[in-house]
Structure 1
Amino acid sequence: MTHKVLHVGAGGFGEDWCHRFLPPNVADGTIEVVGLVDIDATALEKSRQHLGLKVDQCFTSAEKAFQMVDADFCTIVIPPALHEWVVDLALARNMHILSEKPIADTMEASVRIADKVRAAGLKMGVTMSHRFDQDKSTLRALVSGDALGRINTVSCRFAGDFRVYDSWGRFRHEMDHPMLIEGAVHHLDIVANLAGAPCTSIYARTWKPDWAQYKGDTDVIVVMDFANGAHGVYEGSSAQATGLNDWAKEYLRVEAASGTAILDHREIEVFHRHQKRARQTSRQGTGQQVSLLSGMKWANSLLIEQFCHWLDGGPSMATNVEDNLQSVALVFSAIESARLGEPVKVQEFIQSFRKSSSNEA
Structure 2
Amino acid sequence: MINVVEWTRLEPWRVARARTDRDETVIVKWSGPHAARTHSEEWRLRTEVAALRFLAEDLGVRLAPRVLAEDLAGGRVVLEDLAPRIALDGLLRRDGAPAHAARLAAFARARGELGAVTAGHASLYYRRRGALGPVEPAADLLGHVARLRRSGVPEAGVLGVPVEGGVERELGTALGELAEPGAFLVLSNGDPEANNVLVHEGGAADARLIDFEFAGYRHALHDAVCLHVPGPAWMWVAAAPDGRGEARGAVENLGEVYRRALAAGVPEAEDERRYGVGLAAACVAYALARLHRLPVLEARPAGDDSRAQLVAALEAAAMTADAYRALPRLAGWCRRLGDALRRRWPDADIDVSTLAPYTPRRR
TM-score, normalising length: structure 2: 0.27
Structure showing the higher helix proportion among its residues: 2
Structure showing the higher strand proportion among its residues: 1
